[in-house]
Chain A
Amino acid sequence: MAAAALSWALRAARQVLPSPCPGQVRSYYVDWRMVRDFKRRKVAYEHADERLRINAIRKNAILPKELQEVADKEIAALPRDSCPVRIRNRCVLTSRPRGVKRRWRLSRIVFRHFADHAQMSGVQRAMW
């Protein structure tokens, strides 16, 4: 869930590649938007279970409506960053919000760059 997103964001931002392998050494987040996205992921992970349970009470035909209204108010009281909808899958290297392929977590430009330099394992120029 959000845990996976959190972990990869962490790794992306703070990753120091091991010495034998050449490459980028990234010790900062690319921009503030990336930092905010990382914070949102962290908070969303913390409140994920609660949100699930309160939503289970809300989206219900069995429980009385008064109870559901109370649950509505409760979920609104949670911090705004706890909802997973606010998370944006940004490019890991450039923080580009659009054109990001989920499998590689890279924007299309970066992906193309690496693929052409044969640095993407198993990726080949398509020809058919």
Chain B
Amino acid sequence: MWGGVRGGGGLAARLLGAARSSARSKQELFSTSSMLSKQKDKSAASKDGSPEGAAKKQEDGAGTPKQQLLDIIGDMKVEVSYRKKLQQLKASESKKQAMAKLEGPDSEGSVPQGVTEDTQRGKPLNPELVKAASAVASSLPRNKKQTESELLAQLRRHEETTDQQKKGGIINIRNVISEMTIKRQSPAQRGTRTSRRISLQLDEDDKRLRRERSSALSMDSRRSLKVGKRLNIFTKASTEPEHALETVSSPTIWDLEFAKEVAAVTAQPPRNGFEEMIQWTKEGIMWEFPIDNEVGMEDDAEFHEHIFLEKHLEGFPKEGPIRHFMELVICGLSKNPYLSVKQKVEHIEWFQKYFEEKKELLQEI
């Protein structure tokens, strides 16, 4: 379709995509082209034009953006790849289909015919898009009219799909699904899959499309979704109401004794090594596997609080042997992994207190 222009194909698709997506298609075109263009004066002109209205853009001259496009595409390298050939084939097939749908008899649409075909259709394409398509097509080496018609056909198809999605139309999806082959699934797989589909249904953020797809799929599959026990895997809110805590004033001694008796009776001696290990883990004799190296260590402080302790040195004089000494202390503390941040801070504060008490002595020296 693109005649083997790899970069050009990508660029054009991007441009067209950008043009299609937003209403301000002209501005998008300009902005993308300005980013890529090497000629700075033209890009400056286009950038200046971008904040202004679209009408003024058109006045700037269809020549400059088109020329930019052409220049860019001309600069890009031409590569022929197998993938592109496939795409070309597909595009030609799709184009033929599109052409078959059209009322116009001509299979190879020329530029003015292409325009008339657009106007014949219910939704006229953006004239800017048409211009862009024509520019791209004119730059490509191979059959220009054919490429242009193909581009326009693709654009049209995209417009249709987006409109249908907006309306929530089912038609295309049904067509798609009818073409799909039904897989034979084992009942086990079916069970898991139905649970997954149930989850899709229960999801509140469902769009209309998803529901239709799932309903369509359920019709296709042998088993319906609503039949069967709910697994309640993904339901958040439990249906059981939270019983209000039965307030017991204080568990009586008899209750405690009863509980102890029950525990003693029910705690059978372990039948095998596994149960023994379970019991030990519950008691705390055995560690929990996989071993967590940080069991019991709840150091919430980040590493920088451990290492950068200079902010605690504010109470000390800035020069002199005391400062030197305290800096060594801090150096040692920063390397100590066994103390918590609190302990380190206490350490420094003790020194601060000590040196304040000895201030008179220090002043004599």
Shortest Cβ distance from residue A62 to the other chain B in the assembled complex, whole angstroms: 5
Q: In the complex where A56-B329, A62-B325 touch, is A67 in contact with B362 (Cβ < 8 A)?
A: yes
Residues of A contacting B: mostly? helix
Residue ranges of A at the interface with B (Cβ–Cβ < 8 Å): 49, 53, 56-57, 60, 62-64, 66-67, 70
Q: Which residue of B lies closest to A66 (CB)?
A: B365
Complex contacts, B347 vs chain A, CB 8 Å: 49, 53
Q: Give Cα A64–Cα B347 distance, bound, in whole angstroms.
A: 21
B324-365 with Cβ < 8 A to chain A: 324-325, 328-329, 347, 350-351, 354, 358, 361-362, 364-365
Q: Are A63 and B350 in contact (CB under 8 A)?
A: no
Q: Are A70 and B325 in contact (CB under 8 A)?
A: no
Q: Are A53 and B351 in contact (CB under 8 A)?
A: yes
Shortest Cβ distance from residue B269 to the other chain A in the assembled complex, whole angstroms: 10
Residues of B contacting A: mostly? helix
Q: List 5 A-B contacts (CB under 8 A).
A: A49-B347, A64-B365, A66-B361, A67-B362, A70-B358
Q: Are B321 and A64 in contact (CB under 8 A)?
A: yes
Q: Are A63 and B321 in contact (CB under 8 A)?
A: yes
- Contact for B321 among A49, A53, A62, CB less than 8 A: A62
Q: Are B325 and A60 in contact (CB under 8 A)?
A: yes
Shortest Cβ distance from residue B88 to the other chain A in the assembled complex, whole angstroms: 76
Q: Give Cα A58–Cα B324 distance, bound, in whole angstroms.
A: 15
Interface flag for B322 (CB, 8 Å): yes
B275-291 with Cβ < 8 A to chain A: none
Q: Are B350 and A53 in contact (CB under 8 A)?
A: yes
Residue ranges of B at the interface with A (Cβ–Cβ < 8 Å): 321-322, 324-325, 328-329, 347, 350-351, 354, 358, 361-362, 364-365
Shortest Cβ distance from residue A58 to the other chain B in the assembled complex, whole angstroms: 12
Q: Give Cα A62–Cα B324 distance, bound, in whole angstroms.
A: 7
Q: Give Cα A62–Cα B329 distance, bound, in whole angstroms.
A: 12
Complex contacts, B354 vs chain A, CB 8 Å: 53, 57
Q: In the complex where A53-B347, A53-B350, A62-B321 touch, is A67 in contact with B358 (Cβ < 8 A)?
A: yes
Q: Give Cα A64–Cα B324 distance, bound, in whole angstroms.
A: 12
Q: Give Cα A53–Cα B349 distance, bound, in whole angstroms.
A: 11
Q: Which residue of B lies closest to A53 (CB)?
A: B350
Q: Are B325 and A63 in contact (CB under 8 A)?
A: yes
Complex contacts, A49 vs chain B, CB 8 Å: 347, 350
Shortest Cβ distance from residue A57 to the other chain B in the assembled complex, whole angstroms: 8
Shortest Cβ distance from residue B264 to the other chain A in the assembled complex, whole angstroms: 11
Complex contacts, B325 vs chain A, CB 8 Å: 57, 60, 62-63
Which one of B347, B350, B354, B358 has the greatest number of beta carbons of chain A within 10 Å? Answer: B354
Shortest Cβ distance from residue B182 to the other chain A in the assembled complex, whole angstroms: 64
Complex contacts, A66 vs chain B, CB 8 Å: 361, 364-365
Q: Give Cα A57–Cα B329 distance, bound, in whole angstroms.
A: 10
Complex contacts, B365 vs chain A, CB 8 Å: 64, 66-67
Q: Are B328 and A67 in contact (CB under 8 A)?
A: no
> What are the 8 closest A-B residue pairs judged by CB atoms, nearest first?
A62-B321, A62-B325, A62-B324, A64-B365, A63-B321, A63-B325, A53-B350, A66-B365
Shortest Cβ distance from residue A88 to the other chain B in the assembled complex, whole angstroms: 26
- Contact for A70 among B321, B350, B361, CB less than 8 A: B361
Q: In the complex where A53-B351, A53-B354, A62-B324 touch, is A67 in contact with B361 (Cβ < 8 A)?
A: yes
Complex contacts, A63 vs chain B, CB 8 Å: 321-322, 325
Complex contacts, B362 vs chain A, CB 8 Å: 64, 67
Complex contacts, A67 vs chain B, CB 8 Å: 358, 361-362, 365
Complex contacts, A60 vs chain B, CB 8 Å: 325
Q: Which residue of A lies closest to B322 (CB)?
A: A63
Shortest Cβ distance from residue A85 to the other chain B in the assembled complex, whole angstroms: 22
Complex contacts, A56 vs chain B, CB 8 Å: 329
Q: Give Cα A62–Cα B326 distance, bound, in whole angstroms.
A: 10
Q: Give Cα A64–Cα B364 distance, bound, in whole angstroms.
A: 11
Shortest Cβ distance from residue B335 to the other chain A in the assembled complex, whole angstroms: 15
Q: Give Cα A61–Cα B326 distance, bound, in whole angstroms.
A: 13
Known: A53-B351, A62-B325. 20 other contacts (CB 8 A): A49-B347, A49-B350, A53-B347, A53-B350, A53-B354, A56-B329, A57-B325, A57-B354, A60-B325, A62-B321, A62-B324, A62-B328, A63-B321, A63-B322, A64-B365, A66-B364, A67-B358, A67-B361, A67-B362, A67-B365
Q: Give Cα A66–Cα B354 distance, bound, in whole angstroms.
A: 14
Q: Which residue of B lies closest to A74 (CB)?
A: B354
Which one of B325, B361, B365 has the greatest number of beta carbons of chain A within 10 Å? Answer: B325
Q: Give Cα A93–Cα B45 distance, bound, in whole angstroms.
A: 95
Shortest Cβ distance from residue A39 to the other chain B in the assembled complex, whole angstroms: 25
Q: Give Cα A60–Cα B329 distance, bound, in whole angstroms.
A: 11
